């Protein structure tokens, strides 16, 4: 089981790196929305205010897309991972089989 865990960690390394990048991009998008909201609130020219508002909407959509991608990535990364109780159950079942049948070879 430890070898499987090690292999799984190697396999999800690129996903973990992507997750870090997504978190950074989400934070950047949130800062952008806040800056644009402040500029929009302070703007008295309707044309410029509309431009700020359009940019704010675009940044919000970008953030939402990143949040969705993050959720999907986390789901993918955690799929198939055994919990501690699952591991204990597997180990108990293996021990029960060893007790019932004794040592087995691959040929058996």
Domain ranges of the chain: 2-100
This prediction has a pTM of 0.66
Q: Is 2 exposed, middle or buried (0-12, 13-18, 19+ CB in 10 A)?
A: exposed
pLDDT tens, N- to C-terminus, the chain (108 residues)? 567 667 777 878 899 999 999 999 999 999 999 999 999 999 999 999 999 999 999 999 999 999 999 999 988 887 766 667 777 787 788 787 778 777 766 665
Residue 76's pLDDT is 83
Residue 102's pLDDT is 73
d(CA 103, CA 58): 64
Per DSSP, the residues of 43-94 read ---HHHHHHHHHHHHHHHHHHHHHHHHHHHHHHHHHTTPPPHHHHHHHHHHH
């Amino acid at each position: 089981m430890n070898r499987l865990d090690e292999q799984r960690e190697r396999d999800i390394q690129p996903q973990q790196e992507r997750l870090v990048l997504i978190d950074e991009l989400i934070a950047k998008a949130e800062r952008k929305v806040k800056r644009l909201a402040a500029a929009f609130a302070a703007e008295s020219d309707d044309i410029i205010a509309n431009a700020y508002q359009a940019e704010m909407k675009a940044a919000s959509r970008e953030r939402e897309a990143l949040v969705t991608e993050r959720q999907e990535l986390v789901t993918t990364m955690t799929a198939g991972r055994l919990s501690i109780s699952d591991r204990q159950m597997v180990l108990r079942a293996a021990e029960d089989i060893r007790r019932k049948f004794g040592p087995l070879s691959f040929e058996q």
